[in-house]
Amino acid sequence: GAVVSQHPSRVICKSGTSVKIECRSLDFQATTMFWYRQFPKQSLMLMATSNEGSKATYEQGVEKDKFLINHASLTLSTLTVTSAHPEDSSFYICSARSGSGGTYNEQFFGPGTRLTVL
Amino acid sequence: EDQVTQSPEALRLQEGESSSLNCSYTVSGLRGLFWYRQDPGKGPEFLFTLYSAGEEKEKERLKATLTKKESFLHITAPKPEDSATYLCAVHGSGGSNYKLTFGKGTLLTVNP
């Protein structure tokens, strides 16, 4: 149980293009979903938190117009990196929290998406 | 602001050589301390949640313990497949929306 998938696993794009990353909770309904980015040999940095049907809450320093988050259903959240630039190249990971049952507080992570902007 | 410090940054063990990883934390009102395992190029895999001092949880060769200031992840008779980065995270009452604060992790290498 508690499986989270991400698609795509890797993406290479040209500078100035937009990239959409999908995050799905496969066997539970995700009350809250989170988006992180991770640089090599660094820990996870929370970018934003989203609740289904609500606007995302962004961490300080994260541009909400650049990183668009949509949490349209209890099983799907998307992160769109708009007008991507090489400095946006990173490992993006989503997580989901069910908010019910015995896993009330745990976050379960997807496998991550490696974004490379040329 | 919640803070998490993990030590050591890296640890090399021989197969079968037991050891412990440390996670020291500062949080206003601990709502949960979490341990994750992360393999290279993959997302973190959930291991344990601890909620109160004195609590212990075990899974195979791993045992997590919690005090009011720190948590330990004990690895008994490790195998090469236990090699990974182990991440510690906390959720405090001051954080909004179940936000986790992560440590930088301990890179564990178990040599056969």
Cross-chain CB nearest to B105 (options A34, A43, A97):
A43
- Quick one: what percent of chain B has pLDDT higher than 90? 85
For residue B96, the model assigns a pLDDT of: 64
Does A52 reach chain B within 8 Å, measured CB to CB? no
Is residue B39 over pLDDT 80?
yes
Is residue A102 over pLDDT 70?
no
The alpha-carbon gap from A110 to the nearest alpha carbon of chain B, in Å, equals: 6
pLDDT tens by residue, A84-93: 999 999 999 9
Does A62 reach chain B within 8 Å, measured CB to CB? no
C-alpha dihedral, B8 to B10 to B12 to B15, nearest 10° = 80
